[in-house]
Amino acid sequence: MHILAGDYFRFPTEVGGFVLMQYLGVHPLMGDCVTCCKSIDGIEFSIRTSHVFFYPMELNIRKKNIEYCQRGSPCMAVPAAIRRPFVLDKKVVYWFVDDNKGTRRVEQLSKEELGLPIGTAVSHAVLKEIYEGVRWFLFEEVNISA
């Protein structure tokens, strides 16, 4: 299957409902970029409650972890700026901020930088855990399982 920006995919969660994702395209550093939200019926997508992730699409299509839903127009562009954590023992020691100025190391994120998508690739298992309410340390400040 040839994936196009705007394509919708979904997978069920063990706590009910679905995770609905829209493929946004390829980020030059992180690869496949999607935005995801929790959906009761697996059809209605909410940009208001969606979050950006870097997720290996072709691998998960091949493994049948996700199913194709429909074609659409991308709800947003692949983010140009991201924040990447440097982690030791489940603690973020510092961040790298990648934007049009390049890459810089940041000890304390500004309010604007805190709003940037977290630039870390997630596996299908981790993405499921996040939406099933398991506290995944990089997303502890956000409740996305509801």
Domain ranges of the chain: 1-76
Residue 9 corresponds to which tokens in the numbers above? Answer: 């995919």
Q: Is the pLDDT of residue 2 over 60?
A: yes
Average pLDDT, the chain: 88
17-33: per-residue pLDDT in tens? Answer: 899 999 999 999 899 99
The structure tokens 């309410």 sit at 133
pLDDT digits (tens, 9 = 90+) for 44-94: 778 887 889 999 999 999 999 999 999 999 999 999 999 999 988 878 899
Q: What is the pLDDT of residue 139?
A: 65
Distance CA 145, CA 132 (A): 6
3-state secondary structure of 54: strand
- For the stretch 81-139, pLDDT in tens is 999 999 888 788 999 999 988 999 999 999 999 888 888 889 999 999 888 887 676 76
Q: Give one DSSP letter per residue of 95-141, joined into a string.
A: EEEEETTEEEEESS--HHHHTSPB--B--HHHHHHHHTT---GGGTT
Q: Residue 143 pLDDT more than 80?
A: no
